[in-house]
Structure 1
Amino acid sequence: MRAFVHPRLWLGLWLAGWVLCIVLSLVPPPDLPGPAGSDKIGHFLAYFTLTAWAVWLFRTRRAHLLAALALVFLGIAMEIAQASLTTLRLGDVRDAVANTLGVAVGLSLTFTPLRFALERVEKILCGRDFSPEKLRD
């Protein structure tokens, strides 16, 4: 993990995001306004956020890739679970594609200065000073 003042908080929020994603994938779907297929935006954003959080949370690119692969697996598993474990949800390959695209875009933060965003937020919130040496991968 990166050098956080409150590493358990940030890890706990990421894990809570996983739980929320799983629960929302299996409960009855809400009636959302919008054109058909607009739920794909929500799928993309959820998996983008979880992957971006992993990039912000973990220091190494290997950890980023492992988290991204786990999230791709989760997205596929949730679609299979919807098709086989629920009667009010349907597994949809397009949802899995939207999930995977969100993961890919989130993972791309690995190659930008945005990978340090959570450390900078914590610095602002906690007043902790991060030297450039500590922020380097």
Structure 2
Amino acid sequence: MREFRRPRLWLGLWLCGWVLCVVLSLVPTLPLPDAPDSDKVGHFLAYFTLSFWAVALFRTRKAHLLAALSLVALGVAMELAQATLTTVRLGDLRDALANTAGVALGLSLSFTPAARLLQHLDRRLGG
């Protein structure tokens, strides 16, 4: 991990994001606009956030890649779970692709100064 004053807070928030992603993937869907594929934006943003958070949380490129691969696996697993374990959701390959695109964009930020955003926020919160 990167150096933080509150490493447990930042790691805990990331893990809560994983749990929230699993729960929201398996409960009945929320009402969405009638636009076709409007849920793809939500998939993209959720997995982008988790991926970028990992980039900001972990120091090494190896850790970034491991987190990204784990998130892609989670996205695929959630689509399979929707298709096989629920009666209220449908698995969709396009959702898995939106998840993966979000992970890829989040991972790409590891090469930018944005990767230090959590450290900056951690310092700004003081304490």
Q: Summarize the alignment of residues 74-89 of structure 1 with structure 2, pairs less than 5 Å apart.
A: 74-89=74-89
Q: Summarize the alignment of residues 38-117 of structure 1 with structure 2, pairs less than 5 Å apart.
A: 38-117=38-117
For the residues of structure 2 that align with 1:99 and 1:72, how far apart are their CA atoms?
7
Q: List runs of 5+ in structure 1 lacking aligned partners.
A: 128-137
Q: List runs of 5+ in structure 2 lacking aligned partners.
A: none
Q: Summarize the alignment of residues 24-43 of structure 1 with structure 2, pairs less than 5 Å apart.
A: 24-43=24-43
For the residues of structure 2 that align with 1:111 and 1:26, how far apart are their CA atoms?
33
For the residues of structure 1 that align with 2:9 and 2:113, how far apart are their CA atoms?
22
1:132 maps to none
1:133 maps to none
Amino acid at match of 2:75: G
Which of these two proteins has the greater Rg computed from alpha carbons? 1
- 1:30 CA displacement: 1.0
Q: 27-36 vs 37-46, which deviates more?
A: 27-36
1:8 maps to 8
For the residues of structure 1 that align with 2:110 and 2:116, how far apart are their CA atoms?
9
> Which stretches of structure 1, 4 residues or longer, exceed 3 Å deviation after superposition?
none
For the residues of structure 2 that align with 1:125 and 1:65, how far apart are their CA atoms?
28
Using structure 2 for the length normalisation, give the TM-score. 0.98
Using structure 1 for the length normalisation, give the TM-score. 0.91
Q: Deviations over 1:109-136 (max 9, x none)?
A: 1111111011001111116xxxxxxxxx
For the residues of structure 1 that align with 2:36 and 2:117, how far apart are their CA atoms?
34
For the residues of structure 1 that align with 2:84 and 2:72, how far apart are their CA atoms?
19
For the residues of structure 1 that align with 2:42 and 2:56, how far apart are their CA atoms?
21
- 1:34 CA displacement: 3.8
2:121 maps to 121
SS where residue 125 of structure 2 aligns?
helix
For the residues of structure 2 that align with 1:7 and 1:34, how far apart are their CA atoms?
41
The count of residues paired between Structure 1 and Structure 2 equals 127
Q: Which has the higher contact order (CA 8 A, sep 6+)?
A: 2
